[in-house]
Amino acid sequence: MNIKRKESLKKWWKENKNSEKVNRRNAKISLSLKGRKLSEDDKKKLSTIHKNRFSNLIIRKKYEKYWENKKGRKISAETKLKMSKSHIGKIAGDKNPMKLFKTRKHLSATLQNLPISKWTEFKKFEDYPREFHNIKEKIRKRDNYRCQECFRHQSELRNKKNKQVKLDIHHIDFNKKNNNPLNLLSLCRTCHSQTYFNRDKWINYYQNKIVEGILG
């Protein structure tokens, strides 16, 4: 698509996105998709799209800049009232689905990398041994204070309060007691959070990188 065509479409969308014609079209599409069951191929394609959505560093920086501009923004009384009204009737407290046993069981099984049929109990987070805390800084130094996934430097990392944070240290085999330097690597919090699910995938991914000489 050429630049002029792209700009033309952007302009049209800005002028017409809330028009009655577009709303009717969206409602028609929504109705046609209602109750539709996705095939396994479609599910895999959607999953891949969402996983790769923020993998591009340019896109990630764009979103980081967007949220940076939102910090410290004052919300008007009118907006606060709208937000308050939007929450009326929403499920909260003990009726929240996240507090249901079935939901918690499913989430626990996912975090333990188990099929729901093999789940047996909730597991508490294990404490890290003292030796791990003693070696963390050495691993950051070994990795040149860079995330080994997106390669951002530790000096670039900030939390929601805009305070500088250190790199996380990730256990490749997810065994907190295995503190062999070859089993540890530095990751920023964004990249580290991606490893919470599909553990087998991430174990193979980083072990293959070590074999290929990209890490370690």
List the alpha helices (DSSP H) in 39-99. Answer: 40-51, 57-70, 77-86
Domain termination residue (choose one: 128, 148, 177): 128
User: Distance (Å, rounded) from C-alpha 154 to C-alpha 164?
Assistant: 8
Q: Kindly report, residue by residue over 82-122, the tens digit of the pLDDT.
A: 888 887 777 666 667 767 788 888 888 877 777 888 888 77
Higher-scoring residue by pLDDT: 2, 139: 139
Domain range for residue 103? Answer: 99-128
Residues 153 and 172 in one domain: yes
Residues 158 and 105 in one domain: no
- Judged by average pLDDT, the poorest of 58-72, 101-115, 149-163, 191-205 is 58-72
Residues 119 and 149 in one domain: no
- pLDDT category at 135 given cuts 50, 70, 90 is very high
Count the neighbouring beta carbons within 10 Å of the beta carbon of residue 139: 18
Res. 54: pLDDT tops 60: no
Q: Specify the number of domains making up the chain.
A: 2
> Does residue 194 belong to any structural domain of this protein?
yes
Residues 163 and 182 in one domain: yes
Look up residue 77 and give its two tokens. Answer: 């009384």
> Does residue 59 belong to any structural domain of this protein?
no
